[in-house]
């Protein structure tokens, strides 16, 4: 059984790199847009660590965006656009945890926080539909981003069963987004079962945090191209 304490060296090194950049005097007291130039140099290491290795294998553009290191003026332009989308999500979906990471946004729904499922179920209930409909509106207002939906479970029960459950839940969210107007070309789905806990599975509170769905939002190729042109890169 894996624990949340056992992380790869990549995660540790990426975290150290980001902390070093964020704590530099040159980015102290800067907002996310201003930090884009400095944090962009770290590239997609942190974002990649959050969602796992080898995601985006079915969507080369998404994979490239996650791994991209976009600094300088283009990073500032992208940071500004992603800030606006993150703020829109926070306003529309108060229950979501919204984090700006590298050139992306990670939206996390823990058990009971807006997109959730009954025990051993993966159908999207009416409350989750309401939340996802709000997200659809934001995503349609920001068409120059791609989306990765990632499913996770706690460690209760059989690991193989949990892997399938997380797959079904992630696919359910992706299917809902597709059915409600989000282009398939923007969507990628991944799942980890119980393999990537963020809290202690030994407590009820920790397990609730581990039963989660992430939606990762990254700039698509068009946004990156336009940002470079605008910045004169």
Which has more pLDDT, 105 or 69? 105
pLDDT 10s digits, 117-168 = 888 888 898 989 999 999 999 999 999 999 999 999 999 999 999 999 999 9
Q: Taking a C-beta distance cutoff of 8 angstroms, is the pair 45, 102 a contact?
A: yes
> What is the domain partition of the chain in residue ranges?
9-231
Q: How confident is residue 3, by pLDDT bands cut at 50, 70 and 90?
A: very low
Q: Using 50, 70 and 90 to split pLDDT, how confident is the model at 28?
A: very low
Considering the domain 9-231 in this protein, what is its CATH number? 3.30.1330.60
More confident residue, 26 or 51: 51
Confidence band, pLDDT 50/70/90 cuts, at residue 94: confident
Which pLDDT tens digit goes with each residue over 190-222? Answer: 899 999 888 899 999 989 888 889 899 988 888
Query: What does each C-alpha distance from 2 to 46, 47, 110, 200 come to in angstroms?
Result: 20, 21, 19, 11
Name the one residue in this structure whose structure tokens are 């140099």.
Answer: 41
Q: Cα torsion at 223, 63, 217, 126 (round to 10°)?
A: 130
Looking at residue 76, what is its pLDDT?
Answer: 87
What is the predicted pLDDT for the residue at 117?
Answer: 82
Q: Looking at residue 109, what DSSP letter applies?
A: E
At residue 196, the pLDDT reads 87
Cα 85 to its chain centre, rounded Å, is: 13
Gap between the Cα atoms of 60 and 106, Å rounded? 19
């Amino acid at each position: 059984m894996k624990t949340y304490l056992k992380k790869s060296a990549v995660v540790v090194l990426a975290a150290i790199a980001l902390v070093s950049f964020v704590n530099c005097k040159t980015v102290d007291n800067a907002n996310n847009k201003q930090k884009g130039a400095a944090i962009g140099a770290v590239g997609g290491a942190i974002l990649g660590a959050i969602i796992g290795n080898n995601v985006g294998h079915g969507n080369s553009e998404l994979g490239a965006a996650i791994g991209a290191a976009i600094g300088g003026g283009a990073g500032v332009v992208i940071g500004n656009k992603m800030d606006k989308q993150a703020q829109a999500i926070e306003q529309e979906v108060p229950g979501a945890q919204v984090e700006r990471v590298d050139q992306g946004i990670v939206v996390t729904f823990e058990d009971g926080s807006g997109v959730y499922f009954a025990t051993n179920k993966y159908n999207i209930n009416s409350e989750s539909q309401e939340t996802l409909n709000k997200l659809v509106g934001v995503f349609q207002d920001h068409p120059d981003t791609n989306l990765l939906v990632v499913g996770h479970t706690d460690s209760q029960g059989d690991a193989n069963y949990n892997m399938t459950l997380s797959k079904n839940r992630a696919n359910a969210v992706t299917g809902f987004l597709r059915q409600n107007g989000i282009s398939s070309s923007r969507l990628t789905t991944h799942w980890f079962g119980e393999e990537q806990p963020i809290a202690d599975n030994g407590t009820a509170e920790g397990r609730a945090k581990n039963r989660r769905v992430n939606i990762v939002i990254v700039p698509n190729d068009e946004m990156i191209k336009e940002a470079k042109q605008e910045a004169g890169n």
